[in-house]
Structure 1
Amino acid sequence: MSITRTRRTAAAVLAAGLLALGGCTIGDVDGAGDPVAPAASEGPAADAPDPTPGAGAPEKSTPAPAPGGAAAAPRAGTLAGRLIYLDPGHAGTPPPAEEMVTDGRGGVKQCNTTGTAADDGWPEHTFNWELAGRLRALLEDAGAEVRLTRADDVGRAPCIDERARTENDSGADAVISIHADGNGEGARGFHVSHIADPLPGNLPAESAALAGAIRDAMLEAGFTASNYLGAGGIHPRADLTGLNLSTRPKVLVEFGNMRDSADIALLRSAEGQDRLAAAVAAAVAAGIAAYLG
Structure 2
Amino acid sequence: MSYVGPEFDPPPPHRSRRTPTIVALAALVPGALLGWVVYEAVGSPGGSGSTTGPGGAAGTSPSTDAAAEMPASAAPAASGTDDGKKPAATPSTTATSPGTATGPLAGKVVVIDPGHNPGNFRHSADINRKVDIGTGLKECDTTGTSTNSGYTEAAFTLDVAHRLRDLLQRQGATVKLTQDGDRPFGPCIDERARIGNAAHADAVVSVHADGSASGNRGFHVILPASVHAGAADTRPVVAPSRELGERIAGNFVRVTGSAPSNYVGDGTGLVTRNDLGGLNLSTVPKVFIECGNMRDGKDAALLTSGAWRQKAAQGISEGIVGFLRG
Residue 93, structure 1, aligned to residue 123, structure 2: no
Residue 211, structure 1, aligned to residue 250, structure 2: no
Once the 2 structures are TM-superposed, how far is the Cα of residue 25 of structure 1 from its aligned partner? 3.3
Structure 2: state its 5+ residue gaps. Answer: 12-61
Q: Is the 8 A contact 1:175 1:249 kept in 2?
A: yes
SS in 1 for 2:259: coil
Q: Is the 8 A contact 1:218 1:279 kept in 2?
A: yes
Once the 2 structures are TM-superposed, how far is the Cα of residue 156 of structure 1 from its aligned partner? 1.4
Q: 1:44 to 1:249 in 2, by over 3 A?
A: farther
Q: Is the 8 A contact 1:26 1:112 kept in 2?
A: no
Cα distance in 1 for residues equivalent to 2:167 and 2:265: 28
Once the 2 structures are TM-superposed, how far is the Cα of residue 151 of structure 1 from its aligned partner? 2.9
What's the TM-score, normalizing by structure 1?
0.77
Determine which of 147, 151, 164 is the counterpart of 2:176: 147
Once the 2 structures are TM-superposed, how far is the Cα of residue 196 of structure 1 from its aligned partner? 1.6
Residue 32, structure 1, aligned to residue 67, structure 2: no
Cα distance in 1 for residues equivalent to 2:108 and 2:93: 18
Q: Is the 8 A contact 2:225 2:234 kept in 1?
A: no
Aligned to 1:48: 95
What's the TM-score, normalizing by structure 2?
0.70
Aligned to 2:16: none
Once the 2 structures are TM-superposed, how far is the Cα of residue 158 of structure 1 from its aligned partner? 1.4
Once the 2 structures are TM-superposed, how far is the Cα of residue 289 of structure 1 from its aligned partner? 2.6
Aligned to 1:82: 108
Aligned to 1:57: none
Aligned to 1:66: none
Q: Is the 8 A contact 1:129 1:153 kept in 2?
A: no
Aligned to 1:286: 322
Question: Would you say how many aligned residue pairs link Structure 1 and Structure 2?
Answer: 248
Q: 1:49 to 1:263 in 2, by over 3 A?
A: farther
**176-185 vs 281-290, greater mean Cα deviation:** 281-290
SS in 1 for 2:112: strand
Cα distance in 2 for residues equivalent to 1:263 and 1:26: 16
> Which stretches of structure 1, 4 residues or more, deviate above 6 A after TM superposition?
37-40
**172-181 vs 24-33, greater mean Cα deviation:** 24-33
Cα distance in 1 for residues equivalent to 2:134 and 2:211: 24
SS in 1 for 2:249: helix
Q: Is the 8 A contact 2:253 2:315 kept in 1?
A: no
Q: Equivalences for 1:115-264 in 2 at 5 Å?
A: 115-152=144-181, 155-199=184-228, 200-202=233-235, 203-221=237-255, 222-231=257-266, 232-264=268-300
| Greater fraction of residues in helix | 2
Structure 1: state its 5+ residue gaps. Answer: 1-13, 51-75
